[in-house]
Amino acid sequence: MIVNPGPNPPLTYEICIDDVPGALAAERAGAHRVELCADLFEGGITPSLGLIETTLRAVDAIRVHVIIRPRGGDFVFDEYEVAAMERDVIAAREAGAHGVVIGALTPEGDIDRPTIERLLAAAGDCSVTFHRAFDMTRDPFATLEALIELGVHRVLTSGQDSSVLEGAPLIADLVDRAAGRIVVMPGGGITARNIERVIAATGAHEVHFAAGEVSESTATHRNPYPYMGGALRQAEYARRVTSLGGIQEIVGATRRN
């Protein structure tokens, strides 16, 4: 277990991942928890049940929280998407996931309380994080109080800004307002160069980050003409994967004297 020097409580590190090797890298680097997603290019959507089960079987000393989000885009969901999320929460819980990561908003930018209550009921005893839908709400302080009232355990936020550094003043205010009633977890743009500043500026004790690197495909036969996606194209023979060294660098930055 990683313990910070000095009087401050130890930090909890959550790594955003999208495959089993990413979970193993996070575990090896000393992280405490992963947020398991699919399609990080879209900001993370619900992973398959097969990936959830395989990840849980592969790791021993790290907690696995599963994002429940049916698609990219906004966080205003129709009745069919809500029904799918409810079923996905139950499936993740029954597979043994330690937590779920949820979020839903009204068109006006408030919490969709009926949907969140429904997903919380489906989660049972699982830990529940409200994801960065929080950053799209119109009143962050009212939203924070609503999440506390609903019994959500933590909220992931960039401080409603482009990164945690820009959003640090709001995150610090949220940490103060929360007063231990809910965990406020900064996430969005955390690096080895800025993590100490983020912690000092916000007073947070949990942090969320990704650590990616480009991995070339092992395919030796390559057809350069077809693309499997849409007009916004990523390389077909390279992908971003979680970097063990990247995680270690960020975690290590908080252990320097």
Tens-digit pLDDT string for the chain (257 aa)? 333 444 467 899 999 999 999 999 999 999 999 999 999 888 999 999 999 999 999 999 999 999 999 999 999 999 999 999 999 999 999 999 999 999 999 999 999 999 999 999 999 999 999 999 999 999 999 999 999 999 999 999 999 999 999 999 999 999 999 999 999 999 999 999 999 999 999 999 999 999 888 888 899 898 887 877 665 666 666 777 889 999 999 999 887 54
Domain locations along the chain: 12-253
Q: Residue 106 CB: number of other CB atoms within 10 A?
A: 15
pLDDT attached to residue 237: 67
pLDDT attached to residue 5: 40
pLDDT attached to residue 246: 92
pLDDT attached to residue 257: 44
The HSE-up count of residue 135 (CA atoms within 13 Å, CB side) is: 20
Nearest alpha-carbon partner for 239 in 1, 19, 14: 19
Contact at 8 Å (CB) between 83 and 77? Answer: no
Contact at 8 Å (CB) between 198 and 165? Answer: yes
Beta-carbon contacts of 30 under 8 Å, excluding residues fewer than 6 positions away, are 1, 2, 13, 248, 251
Separation between Cα atoms, residue 135 and residue 226, nearest integer Å? 37
Contact at 8 Å (CB) between 106 and 78? Answer: no
Q: Residue 28 CB: number of other CB atoms within 10 A?
A: 14
Separation between Cα atoms, residue 154 and residue 188, nearest integer Å? 15
Contact at 8 Å (CB) between 107 and 76? Answer: yes
Q: What is the DSSP letter of 45?
A: B
Give the chain's end-to-end CA distance (angstroms, integer). 18
Nearest alpha-carbon partner for 215 in 235, 240, 196: 240
Q: In terms of DSSP bridges, do strands 212-216 and 206-209 run parallel, antiparallel, or are they unpaired?
A: unpaired
pTM here is: 0.89
Architecture of domain 12-253: Alpha-Beta Barrel (3.20)
pLDDT attached to residue 241: 85
- Report the run of H or E that residue 5 belongs to, with start and end: none
pLDDT attached to residue 1: 32
